[in-house]
Amino acid sequence: MSNKELLERVEELGIHTIRIEFSDMHGVSRGKLVPTSRLEEVLEEGINCAKPTFSLDLNYNIPPGTGTADEVNYEDMNIVPDPSTFTVIPYQEGVGRLIGDIYADGRPFPYSPRGLLKRVVERYRQKGFIPVAASELEFFVFESEGEKFQYYCDKPSNVYTVGPRSDPKGLLVNLQNTLMEMGIDVLYINHEFFQSQYEINWRHKEALSMADQTFTFKMVCKELAFLRDLFVTFMGRPKDEMGGSGYHMHFSIEDAETGKNLFDDPSGKEGMSELMLHFIGGQMAHAKAMTAFLAPTINSYKRYVLNSFAPYYLAWGLDNRTTYIRIPRERGAATRVENRAACASANPYLALAVALIAGLDGIEKKLDPGDYYVGDIYTEEPGKFDTVPFYLHEAIEELKRDEVLCEAIGEQIINNYTAVKMSEAERFRTYVTEWEFNEYFYHL
């Protein structure tokens, strides 16, 4: 959509306000409201926001070494709306939304997660490939009772239960209709395994469009819940007695000219092409280093436990939900690779970008993933397989050792991200939890 077409569309729809938004390093939506009378100007000139937005952790701290705060005098960056991302916000009358690209000094801002994914997609396109992705996101819903948060659906064993008993306020149907109005092609919604845990699946798209939709999806889920006095969280494991929420990423590669799924090969091993096997090899080779982005918080690592349907040992399997990489049984146009490692709290731009970087490295180096695993890998003897990192600081160290990922991501994002995350890990290390008090204070 051109700027002219966008302006005509906004006038036709009677839009009076535009939300100009961008993803910070956490995947949180930031931005400003703009009256439509200024939209033409903003499409050309953008809006200014402070670079230290990329320095903040989620508790207002600015750790040293981010490269976006005192090092650059806390100066501005420029957010230029991408007309192709325009949507109407159905639950805000007369309000539209645009996702922006970030610039500084007239050049793409090197700290931008969306900018990174665009660069990665371009590397694929230079080879005649179109990377395609799909997002499966789980989340929990809570309602507040004074100062406490209670499960929205508090009865156990409601997996695949539909209707008012598992969704008493009709949140899910409203989410479905809203998301579809905003161009997200919902396939299905279900109550997941744990109390008040849900999952929404929608149709695959080219990787950048999928990241934009995933970014939008998380924002819409939180806002629609909030309007109903409910709270959606994508944190990895919000309660000790419950399991975690994953972000399962599905990947395939299409031929840029023919649109053919290049992962499909009826004559190949289990119907998989050599290209697909090399892509899997890249996922396995960089699995530990990717974890810093796929599991971005202290809490994310509390998903990685045995018998949880989250990755623990590093292996790949055919339609196997106990392995790190799962290859769904569909073939033909639906042939794909599923990476099950990401926490639902991951930034979709960063998560998709690093997984695609790893896959492309596997393709370029023709990496062999080895044999696929058969059985329940959770029952294997410890030490037979490598594991995912179990702590954020360990994942950061794995990332720093991975030269391929670090070079492809760029030193600005690496330095910024690791500075914020190591500060987060250190704050947690020195924080006294309720568990520690209950465990030690009486006897010791």
Q: Give the CATH number for residue 377.
A: 3.30.590.10
Rounded Cα–Cα distance for residues 261 and 330 (Å) = 12
Report the mean per-residue pLDDT for the chain.
Answer: 96
Which contiguous run of DSSP H or E holds residue 200?
Answer: strand 197-202
Q: Which residues contact 441 (CB under 8 A, 6 or more apart)?
A: none
Rounded Cα–Cα distance for residues 92 and 112 (Å) = 28
Claim to verify: residue 50 and residue 167 sit in the same structural domain: no
Tokens 């490692």 belong to which residue? 341
> pLDDT category, 242, cuts 50, 70, 90?
confident
- Tell me: pLDDT of 132 over 80: yes
What is the reported pLDDT for 155?
87
> pLDDT category, 341, cuts 50, 70, 90?
very high
Q: What SS3 class is residue 289?
A: helix
Claim to verify: residue 204 and residue 340 sit in the same structural domain: yes
Rounded Cα–Cα distance for residues 224 and 206 (Å) = 26
Which contiguous run of DSSP H or E holds residue 431?
Answer: none
- pTM across the whole model: 0.96
| Burial of residue 113 (number of CB atoms within 10 Å: 0-12, 13-18, 19+) | buried
Closest CA to 220 of 378, 432, 29: 29
Closest CA to 85 of 19, 11, 16: 19
Rounded Cα–Cα distance for residues 63 and 215 (Å) = 25
Rounded Cα–Cα distance for residues 315 and 383 (Å) = 13
Claim to verify: residue 204 and residue 275 sit in the same structural domain: yes
- Average pLDDT for residues 278-298, to the nearest whole number? 98
Claim to verify: residue 95 and residue 126 sit in the same structural domain: no
100-127: pLDDT as tens digits: 999 999 999 999 999 999 999 999 999 9
Rounded Cα–Cα distance for residues 9 and 19 (Å) = 15
Claim to verify: residue 66 and residue 141 sit in the same structural domain: no
Claim to verify: residue 269 and residue 405 sit in the same structural domain: yes
Residue where a domain stops, chosen among 65, 89, 109:
109
**How big is the chain by its Cα radius of gyration, in Å?**
22
> pLDDT category, 144, cuts 50, 70, 90?
confident
* Residue 442 resides in a domain: no
Q: Which residues contact 283 (CB under 8 A, 6 or more apart)?
A: 290, 316, 324, 325, 337, 339, 355, 358, 359, 362, 369
Closest CA to 197 of 226, 232, 247, 145: 232
- Average pLDDT for residues 392-416, to the nearest whole number? 98
Closest CA to 137 of 208, 186, 86: 186
Claim to verify: residue 199 and residue 154 sit in the same structural domain: yes
% of residues, the chain, pLDDT over 70: 100
HSE-CB at 148 with a 13 A cutoff on CA atoms is: 5
- Tell me: pLDDT of 147 over 80: no
Residue where a domain stops, chosen among 109, 144, 173:
109
* Residue 439 resides in a domain: no
* Residue 358 resides in a domain: yes
% of residues, the chain, pLDDT over 90: 94
* Residue 441 resides in a domain: no
Claim to verify: residue 251 and residue 328 sit in the same structural domain: yes
- Tell me: pLDDT of 141 over 80: yes
Rounded Cα–Cα distance for residues 340 and 136 (Å) = 9
Claim to verify: residue 243 and residue 307 sit in the same structural domain: yes
What is the reported pLDDT for 156?
85
* Residue 97 resides in a domain: yes
Rounded Cα–Cα distance for residues 393 and 421 (Å) = 8
Rounded Cα–Cα distance for residues 131 and 261 (Å) = 10
Claim to verify: residue 315 and residue 174 sit in the same structural domain: yes
Rounded Cα–Cα distance for residues 263 and 319 (Å) = 16
Tokens 């910024």 belong to which residue? 416
> pLDDT category, 145, cuts 50, 70, 90?
confident
Helix axes 348-365, 274-285, angle to 10 degrees: 120
In the chain, the amino acid numbered 309 is F
> pLDDT category, 255, cuts 50, 70, 90?
very high
- Tell me: pLDDT of 19 over 90: yes
Rounded Cα–Cα distance for residues 50 and 70 (Å) = 12
45-103: pLDDT as tens digits: 999 999 999 999 999 899 999 999 999 999 999 999 999 999 999 999 999 999 999 99
Query: How far lies 178's CA from each of 11, 92, 184, 252, in Å?
Result: 21, 11, 9, 27
Query: How far lies 384's CA from each of 313, 319, 328, 377, 381, in Å?
Result: 9, 21, 25, 10, 6
Query: How far lies 231's CA from each of 50, 172, 351, in Å?
Result: 28, 13, 24
Q: Which residues contact 381 (CB under 8 A, 6 or more apart)?
A: none
Claim to verify: residue 228 and residue 86 sit in the same structural domain: no
* Residue 436 resides in a domain: no
Helix axes 207-226, 348-365, angle to 10 degrees: 160
Claim to verify: residue 127 and residue 95 sit in the same structural domain: no
What is the reported pLDDT for 9?
95
> pLDDT category, 148, cuts 50, 70, 90?
confident
Report the number of distinct structural domains present in the chain. 2
- Tell me: pLDDT of 146 over 90: no
Rounded Cα–Cα distance for residues 75 and 18 (Å) = 24
* Residue 438 resides in a domain: no
Residue where a domain stops, chosen among 83, 109, 135:
109
Domain CATH number, residue 52: 3.10.20.70
- The whole domain housing 38 covers 3-109
Q: Is 413 left (phi over 0), alpha (psi -120 to 50) or beta?
A: alpha
* Residue 437 resides in a domain: no
CB atoms within 10 A of CB 258: 9
- Tell me: pLDDT of 228 over 90: yes
